């Protein structure tokens, strides 16, 4: 208890006494550090502080280089009752200011607010969330958002059904006033919230995904109920790195290409191409004419395929049906994970997201995708087509040292390209995570190339 209070005090000292010039990406370790107040007391709590000093060289001949610095304090409470029921509360304080390359109208903010507040039920085959919470919709790239609404995951034998219904506004959206992920560097578009509603009901989403496992076999009955049919890192855990670190962003540790899902040891028995999963999506964005003047409807399919030599591939496409803006986006991702004899692990992945215009000059524009492709430029659905490659190696040992390299490029428009190097470790029994990031960016939208270097330090108890 004393150690937690000391940690919180130190974090608040840093926030108050450091000039904050950039808002943190909202990756969080809170979920991994939730612990009870006391033995046999059904309330868990955790606190986390983040700092990320850095610098950027200037791509503008008339401007000097700029410093980056920022801070955030997050806290969480998890009330458990009647076994599988929870009430989860998460909030905090942030203080950020964009880099000097950004228009003064979006230069910074201080904000205290609620990040998540929801009720959840986690049964053997049913998972429910009601309230303000982070959510995704299957493995599709249309939703990665914080909304007020309802989420349902239901397993029925070989089928998994995911349903989402909710409303998003600027106060709590992932790119909004609290945890505004996209405001960190603000090189080209500092205000990404212009199309998100000010009030509930102005920008809304509704959708469902049906996943089918063609090789499903009814499990043998067992008295052991410890396994979760929805996987170890599903989005209905209290809070985890899944939402902030999916496979397109920041070399996420809990993605569909993780060691658990495509290690060679689980694919040796399937040397040929084998369909692992088929997913169908039906998704709608709707609201007031001010923000969504034309209703947007999306439908499509994704197929996961086990390939020879331990590779896994995901391919498919999504249609956007929108007045004078119809388009088709297709995706191909391939990855390989290798666990070595010394318990280290290497992951290699490559992805291409292409776009075919059905209407002339169509723009693919789901509001809530939040892909954040690239550390600095954070390219999203309107920037398609895009390619990406990544290589990550995790060394054995308690410090969990990892090194990763990533490159992402835009095929059309500004033809933005970014290369990132990331080195990280965890110390003090995983309570402190330190990550160094070095990036190089070139873009036709900027006069010159530039570099970014940042050290992110996250402490959680």
Cα-Cα end-to-end distance for the chain:
10
CA neighbor of 98 nearest in space, from 66, 51, 139, 50: 66
| Total of domains in the chain | 1
Within a domain: residue 54? yes
Calpha distance 276→139 (Å, rounded): 13
Three-class HEC string of 392-435: EEECCCCCCCEEEEEEEEECCCCCCEEEEEEEEEEECCCCEEEE
pTM for this predicted structure: 0.82
In a domain, 167, yes or no: yes
What confidence tier does 271 reach under pLDDT thresholds 50, 70, 90?
low
Residue 193: what pLDDT? 59
Indicate the average pLDDT of the chain. 81
Position 60 scores a pLDDT of 87
User: In CATH, what number is assigned to the domain containing residue 434?
Assistant: 2.40.160.100
Query: Does residue 224 sit within a domain?
Result: no
Residue corresponding to tokens 């606190």: 47
Render the burial of 141-153: b for 16+ CB within 10 Å, e for the rest. bbbbbbbbbbbbb
200 is a domain residue? yes
Q: Which of 3-7, 151-155, 383-387 has the lowest mean pLDDT?
A: 3-7
Torsion 166-380-352-363 (CA) sign: positive
366-370 mean pLDDT:
90
DSSP 181: G
Does 222 fall in a domain?
Answer: no
What pLDDT shows up at residue 461?
A: 87
- CA angle in degrees (0–180, nearest 5) for 421-425-430: 145
Highest mean pLDDT among 53-62, 144-153, 256-265, 365-374: 144-153
Residue 226, token pair as written in the block = 């410890």
Residue 137 placed within a domain: yes
Task: Quote the domain boundaries for residue 233.
Answer: 2-217+229-460
CA-based radius of gyration for the chain: 22
Higher-pLDDT residue of 270 and 170 is 170
Residue 193 CB contacts under 8 Å (≥ 6 apart), including other chains: 170, 173, 175, 176, 177, 180
> Which of these, 141, 153, 49, 129, lies nearest to 95 by C-alpha position?
49
Q: How far apart (Å, rounded) are the C-alpha atoms in residues 127 and 146?
A: 17
Please report the sign of the dihedral spanned by the C-alpha atoms of residue 301, residue 306, residue 309, residue 310.
positive
Structure tokens at 335: 């990855």
d(CA 422, CA 339): 20
List, in sequence order, every beta strand (DSSP E) within 213-288: 274-287
Give the DSSP letter string of 14-30: HHHHS---SPPP----G
Average pLDDT over residues 243-248: 38
In this prediction, residue 30 carries a pLDDT of 82
Q: What is the rounded distance in angstroms from the CA atom of residue 164 to the CA atom of residue 442?
A: 38
Tell me, what's the pLDDT at 6?
A: 46
Residue 295 within a domain: yes
CA distances in angstroms from 63 to 58, 66, 329, listed in the order given: 6, 9, 38
Geometric angle at alpha carbon 396, from 393 and 397, rounded to 5° = 135
The Cα 232–Cα 278 span in angstroms is 20
> Do 29 and 458 form a contact (C-beta atoms < 8 A)?
yes
> In the structure encoding, which two tokens stand for residue 401, read together?
């040292």
* DSSP-assigned beta bridge partners for residue 212: 159, 278
pLDDT in tens, 302-345: 999 999 999 999 999 999 999 999 999 999 999 999 999 999 99
User: Torsion angle of alpha carbons 392, 426, 109, 437, nearest 10°?
Assistant: -40
Angle CA 445–451–456, to nearest 5: 120
Q: What is the pLDDT of residue 372?
A: 80
Question: Is 223 part of a structural domain of the chain?
Answer: no
Whether residue 353 is predicted with pLDDT greater than 50 in this model: the reply is yes
Does residue 370 sit in helix, strand or coil?
Answer: coil
Q: Is pLDDT above 60 for 455?
A: yes
């Amino acid at each position: 208890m004393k150690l937690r209070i000391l940690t919180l005090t130190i974090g608040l000292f840093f926030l108050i006494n450091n000039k904050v010039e950039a808002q943190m990406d909202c990756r969080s370790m809170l979920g991994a550090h939730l612990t009870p107040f006391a033995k046999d007391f059904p309330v868990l709590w955790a606190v986390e502080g983040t700092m990320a000093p850095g610098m950027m060289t200037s791509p503008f001949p008339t401007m000097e280089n700029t410093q980056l610095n920022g801070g955030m304090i997050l806290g969480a409470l998890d009330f458990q009752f009647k076994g599988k029921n929870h009430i989860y509360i998460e909030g905090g304080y942030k203080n950020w200011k964009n880099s000097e390359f950004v228009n003064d109208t979006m230069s910074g903010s201080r904000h205290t607010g609620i990040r998540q507040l929801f009720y959840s039920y986690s049964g053997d085959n049913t998972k429910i969330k009601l309230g303000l919470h982070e959510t995704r919709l299957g493995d599709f790239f249309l939703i990665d958002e914080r909304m007020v609404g309802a989420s349902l995951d239901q397993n029925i034998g070989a089928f998994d059904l995911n349903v989402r219904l909710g409303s998003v506004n600027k106060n709590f959206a992932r790119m909004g006033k609290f945890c505004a992920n996209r405001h960190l560097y603000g090189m080209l578009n500092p205000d990404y919230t212009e199309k998100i509603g000010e009030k509930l009901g102005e920008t809304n989403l509704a959708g469902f995904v049906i996943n089918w496992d063609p090789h499903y076999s009814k499990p043998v009955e067992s008295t052991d109920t410890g396994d979760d049919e929805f996987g170890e890192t599903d989005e209905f855990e209290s809070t985890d790195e899944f939402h902030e670190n999916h496979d397109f962003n920041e070399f996420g540790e809990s993605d569909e290409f993780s060691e658990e899902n495509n290690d060679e040891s689980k694919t040796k028995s399937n040397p040929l191409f084998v369909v692992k999963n088929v997913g169908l999506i039906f998704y709608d964005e709707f609201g007031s004419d001010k923000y969504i003047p034309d209703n947007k409807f999306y439908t499509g399919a994704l197929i996961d395929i086990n390939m020879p030599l331990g590779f896994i591939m995901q391919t498919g496409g999504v249609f956007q049906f929108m007045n004078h803006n119809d388009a088709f986006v297709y995706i191909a991702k391939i990855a390989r994970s290798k666990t070595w004899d010394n318990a280290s692990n290497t992951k290699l992945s490559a992805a291409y997201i292409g776009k075919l215009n059905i209407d002339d000059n169509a723009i693919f524009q789901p509001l809530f995708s939040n892909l954040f492709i690239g550390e600095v430029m954070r390219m999203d659905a309107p920037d398609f087509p895009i390619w990406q490659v990544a290589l990550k190696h995790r060394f054995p040992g308690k410090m969990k040292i990892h090194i990763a390299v990533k490159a992402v490029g835009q095929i059309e428009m500004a033809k933005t390209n970014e290369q990132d190097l990331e080195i990280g470790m965890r110390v003090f029994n995983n309570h402190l995570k330190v990550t160094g990031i070095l990036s190089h960016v070139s873009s036709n939208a900027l006069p010159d190339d530039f570099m970014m270097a940042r050290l992110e330090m996250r402490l959680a108890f």
